């Protein structure tokens, strides 16, 4: 397993290009199952989760070709030759559940392994399943697999999600595009990745309105056709790198960064003392003055503060002036970076879904352990500002969501290297 070593190296400077969004690509790719024509996605990030999704789709009958060093992927599914998504793949990547809606809509029968939990929580899929039942799918849970049947096809319905689940919104939106009649989905997620999926589906001939709001209306169509679509910018990668100058000092420009996909996050950073300037190339970020000060944060579904940036925010607040209160409301166990930051000298008191962070003068480098994707990168950010050497073990988590992470940090002056252990 690889480790990443960072030497605290003072203020950062330079520029970082932001890649296409992992959490958009992981739903755009299964959408290609909905048609027998080629769907080409460009600006695709080169990540291990994308590779896993390629393997999964190929096992279902999708032909995949790549160009531009993997940034452009063409997916063609003449027919679904296998309707079973195996546990071995699904357990590696929970987002595999997003093939369920497209397979059942196109093929009428599907068997997808239940994803199981992960480090940050139990991650049930009950909302996905209840929504598909509302669309007329018969479901049986047998030996850890969801067996889904819709021999007469899906039927438009009105379904209100009990929680604005991102994945459930994506699964149901994709399934409803081929349902007979009108589907109204209420209390849906509003993330930019949902809008990007709706843009792709409309370009395939789907009839969708309301994406980005709490209610999406889909008029089912007979078939969908191929298209070419550029994956939206990764707002979580963007927000992650915005932290670097705030934690270590200095100033950087994030190429392709746009405020409107991270508005509430940007407002919170400005409240803490960040200076964010929009340019024709992206966003320039620096501290407004010498110090960052404490702020209170509560994670919420979009347009609220993103849970995927909570760990990075905690790393910043470890050396802010004053005491901050962080409430994590989306996942039940998403503070595993806290004890690792405490190893670096941070003063953090976790009580259930709340973390109280009392800022200290300076973090000290230490050996720490990555536990999940966003926790891993929060430890690298902390290492940028810490005195001495920080060694982050189990960095394979990073490969799931951060393309060229070492070279991107190095391009702004970080003293960082990856070693095999
Ligand atoms: C997506 O996960 C993202 N993953 C997550 O990013 C992100 O943290 C999350 O949305 C919230 O924004 C991808 O897009 C691949 P949810 P998803 O369904 O769809 C509960 C990262 O780091 N829930 O909105 O799984 C669930 O347990 C990852 O890039 C149910 O109870 O998120 C959780 O507590 C991590 N029943 C909450 O809702 C369900 O059927 C949010 O889940 C579905 C979800």
Measure CA of the first residue to CA of the last residue in the chain; give whole Å: 6
C-alpha span between 268 and 276 (Å, rounded): 11
Q: Give residue-wise pLDDT tens across range 307-321.
A: 999 999 999 999 999
Res 116 pLDDT > 90: no
**Among protein residues, the one whose CA lies closest to atom 32 of ligand 1:** 166
Say which residue, 93 or 270, is predicted with more confidence. Answer: 270
Nearest residue (CA) to ligand 1, atom 14: 23
User: Which of helix, strand or coil describes residue 7?
Assistant: strand
Biggest CA-to-CA distance, the chain: 65
Residue 373 Cα: closest atom of ligand 1: 22
CA distance 342 to 247: 16
Decide if 266 is catalytic: no
Query: What mean pLDDT comes out for the span 184-211?
Result: 98
By most ligand atoms within 8 Å of CB, the mutation choice from 330, 397, 399, 405 for ligand 1 is 330
Residue 123 — very low, low, confident or very high, per pLDDT cuts 50/70/90?
confident
pLDDT (0 to 100) of residue 122? 78
Whole-angstrom distance, CA of residue 110 vs CA of residue 127:
17
Task: Among 114, 123, 124, 236, name the best residue to mutate to test ligand 1's pocket (greatest count of ligand atoms within 8 A of Cβ).
Answer: 123
Contact assessment for residue 235 and residue 261, using Cβ atoms and an 8 Å cutoff: yes
Q: Specify the residue with its C-alpha closest to ligand 1, atom 20.
A: 123
Is 80 exceeded by the pLDDT of residue 117? no
How much distance in Å is there from the Cα of 74 to the middle of ligand 1? 27
| Cα–Cα distance, 365 to 346 (Å, whole number) | 11
Q: Is 162 in the pocket of ligand 1 (CB under 6 A)?
A: no
| Residue minimizing CA distance to atom 22 of ligand 1 | 308
Q: Tell me, what's the pLDDT at 306? A: 98
User: Full-prediction pTM beyond 0.95?
Assistant: yes
Say how many Å lie between the CA of residue 414 and the centre of ligand 1: 32
Ligand 1 center from residue 120 Cα (angstroms): 10
Indicate whether 36 pLDDT > 80: yes
**Ligand 1 atom nearest 120 alpha carbon:** 35
Arithmetic mean of pLDDT, 104-129: 90
Which residues lie closer than 8 Å to 67 by C-beta, 6 or more apart? 74
Interval 47-68 mean pLDDT = 96
Q: Say yes or no to pLDDT of 4 above 90.
A: yes
Domains of the chain (ranges plus CATH)? 2-17+233-420 (3.65.10.10), 25-230 (3.65.10.10)
Distance of alpha carbon 41 from alpha carbon 73, whole angstroms:
5
Ligand 1 contact, 156 CB (< 6 A)? no
Q: Is 167 in the pocket of ligand 1 (CB under 6 A)?
A: yes
pLDDT score recorded for residue 1: 85
Q: Which atom of ligand 1 is nearest to the CA of 164?
A: 24
- Average pLDDT of the residues of the chain: 96
Ligand 1: which residue has its CA nearest to atom 25?
A: 167
């Amino acid at each position: 397993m690889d480790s990443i070593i960072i030497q605290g190296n003072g203020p950062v400077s330079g520029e970082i290009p932001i890649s296409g969004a992992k959490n958009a690509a992981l739903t755009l790719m299964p959408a290609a199952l909905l048609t027998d024509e080629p769907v080409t996605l460009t600006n695709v990030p080169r990540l291990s989760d994308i590779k896993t999704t390629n393997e999964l789709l190929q096992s279902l009958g999708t032909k995949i070709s790549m160009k531009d060093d993997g940034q452009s992927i063409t997916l063609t599914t003449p027919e679904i030759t296998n309707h079973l998504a195996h546990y071995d793949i699904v357990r590696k990547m929970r987002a595999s559940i997003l093939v369920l809606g497209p397979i059942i809509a196109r093929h009428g029968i599907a068997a997808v392994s239940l994803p199981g939990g992960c480090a940050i929580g139990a991650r049930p899929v009950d909302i996905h399943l209840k929504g598909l039942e509302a669309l007329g799918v018969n479901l049986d849970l047998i030996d850890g697999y969801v067996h889904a049947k819709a021999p007469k096809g899906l039927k438009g319905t009105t379904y209100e999600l009990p929680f604005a689940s991102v994945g459930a919104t994506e699964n149901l939106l994709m399934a409803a595009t081929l349902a007979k009649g009108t589907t109204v989905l209420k209390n849906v997620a509003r993330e930019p990745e949902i809008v990007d999926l709706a843009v792709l589906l409309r370009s395939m001939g789907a009839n969708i309105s309301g994406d980005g709001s709490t209610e999406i209306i889909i008029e089912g169509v007979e078939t969908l056709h191929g298209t070419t679509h550029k994956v939206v910018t990764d707002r979580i990668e963007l927000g992650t790198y915005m932290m670097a100058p705030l934690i270590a000092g200095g100033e950087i420009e994030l190429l392709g960064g746009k405020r409107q996909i991270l508005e509430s996050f940007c407002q919170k950073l400005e409240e803490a003392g960040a200076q964010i300037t929009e340019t024709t190339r992206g966003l320039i970020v620096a501290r407004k003055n010498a110090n960052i000060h404490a702020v209170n944060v509560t994670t919420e579904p979009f347009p609220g503060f993103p849970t995927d940036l909570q760990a990075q925010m905690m790393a910043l607040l470890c050396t802010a002036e004053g005491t901050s209160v962080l409430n994590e409301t989306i996942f039940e166990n998403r503070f595993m970076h806290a004890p690792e930051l405490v190893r670096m000298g941070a003063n953090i008191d976790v009580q259930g879904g709340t973390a109280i962070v009392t800022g200290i003068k300076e973090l000290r480098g230490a050996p720490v352990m990555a536990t999940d994707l966003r926790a891993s990168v929060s430890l690298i950010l902390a290492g940028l500002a810490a005195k001495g050497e920080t060694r982050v073990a189990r960095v394979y988590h990073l490969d799931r969501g951060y393309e060229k992470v070492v070279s991107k940090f190095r391009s702004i002056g970080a003293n960082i290297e990856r070693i095999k252990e």
